[in-house]
Structure 1
Amino acid sequence: MKICKVIGNVWATRKKESLCGHKLMVVQPLDGEDKASFVAVDCVSAGIGETVLVTLGSSARKALDNQEAPVDAAIVGIIDGSDEG
């Protein structure tokens, strides 16, 4: 999983049916060296500016309860705080 900040929305008028009804958000990792932004499906109604927990790979499809969805990143939590030592 990655800790990311939501930096934008993505609108797609045409998309795979399995993605209909799901919000797509642009997120940017806060940890690690790779700061490249990417798109994640929002499972928790996150908003722009929030710090979120993003799961990647097959775990992202499990978060949607749809193994057929073409998803490799999903927002699964909104972070209220953390204790980094």
Structure 2
Amino acid sequence: MYLGKVIGRVVATTKDISLSGSILLIVARLNERLEPAGSTSIAIDTVGAGKGEIVIVTTGSAGRRAGTLQNSVVDACIVGIVDTVETDGQVEV
């Protein structure tokens, strides 16, 4: 799992049938201080996240366990919207 920030949305009218009805969001990976840290990815949204929100992303087979995606081609899935992150007494929002 990793923290990410939703930076956009992907619309694909032609896609694998297992993705029908799914919302695809572009997520930028963040470090524990909520600073950019690495590449972006496309993730299925299962929690109603919106642009600019900090989210929890899970990948691989764990991502397919979210919602009704067990038989899907999903590799990354948004499973939570972050309220705060606390590390070493520091709180990030």
Superposed, which structure 2 residues align to 1:63-74 within 5 Å? Answer: 63-74=66-77
Following the alignment from structure 2 to structure 1, what is the Cα–Cα distance between the partners of residues 47 and 70?
Answer: 18
Could you tell me the TM-score, scaled by structure 2's length?
Answer: 0.85
Q: Deviations over 1:23-73 (max 9, x none)?
A: 000001102885110100000010000000000110001113332200110
Letter in 2 for 1:35: G
Report the equivalent of 2:84. 81
- The structure that is strand-richer by fraction is 2
Could you tell me the TM-score, scaled by structure 1's length?
Answer: 0.92
Following TM superposition, the consecutive aligned residue runs of length 4 or more in structure 1 with deviations greater than 3 angstroms are: none
Q: Give the length in aligned residue pairs.
A: 85
Ranges in structure 2 where 5+ consecutive residues have no aligned partner: 89-93
Whose radius of gyration is greater, 1 or 2?
2
User: Percent same amino acid at aligned positions?
Assistant: 45
